[in-house]
Amino acid sequence: MRYTTLFIICGIMALLGSLFLALQKEWILIRMPQANNAPSSLGIAKIKKPITIHFWHDARWHTEKQDILWSSNDADNLYSLVTCWLNTLDAEEITAKKVILQDATLSPSSTDAYLSFDRNPFQQKWSTYEKWMWIEGLLKTIREQGLPIKNIYFLVHHRPLVDRHIDTSHSWRVEGFLYIK
């Protein structure tokens, strides 16, 4: 009986240790539901809104008109806007691989936005200038929609985007750093 009890305790401890290691190494992910992650609540009215997409391609600025669904929820609007912008870049073959926006979350004051992508949106071969223009196109597209957002944080899988040319460890101001007509 003594060895059986010891064997059961060791088995339980090994199982708990394996579970703890898997959680720590992120082999098992536990995601708690958040209010800003959920798709639009039922009953929130949406309207079709024309927007202008701005992007840098072939050493010049381009614009494209699109229609998206717009609601009273700023986080949903930001998600729709950035997704539309990314889809336009994919259609224009500006990015080698399709970049997907995983999440668009706002701070409680709605002045800071956190955009989490499924991959680094910058291509290895891009220069610092091309990466900067990618960001400026996104900032200009967001700025023109009248959202209360002042700063944007760029993330990949909900962690800060790491790039050797562009510093994304701090927020980027929505008003941008260029004067773009």
Instruction: Identify residue 144 by its one-letter amino acid code.
Output: E
Assess contact for 154 and 174: CB atoms under 8 A.
Answer: no
Q: Are residues 2 and 91 in the same domain?
A: no
Cα–Cα distance, 113 to 174 (Å, whole number): 10
Q: What is the distance of C-alpha 79 from the center of its chain?
A: 8
Q: Are residues 4 and 51 in the same domain?
A: no
Cα–Cα distance, 9 to 14 (Å, whole number): 9
pLDDT for 27 equals 78
Q: Are residues 23 and 95 in the same domain?
A: no
pLDDT for 34 equals 58
Q: Are residues 77 and 51 in the same domain?
A: yes
Cα–Cα distance, 179 to 172 (Å, whole number): 15
pLDDT for 33 equals 66
pLDDT for 124 equals 86
Q: Are residues 88 and 166 in the same domain?
A: yes
Mean pLDDT, consecutive 10-residue stretches, the chain (181 aa), reads 86 90 77 56 78 92 94 94 95 91 93 94 91 93 92 94 89 76 45
Does some domain include residue 152?
A: yes
Question: By residue range, what is the domain housing residue 7?
Answer: 1-30
pLDDT for 181 equals 45
Does some domain include residue 180?
A: no
Look up residue 81 and give its DSSP letter: H
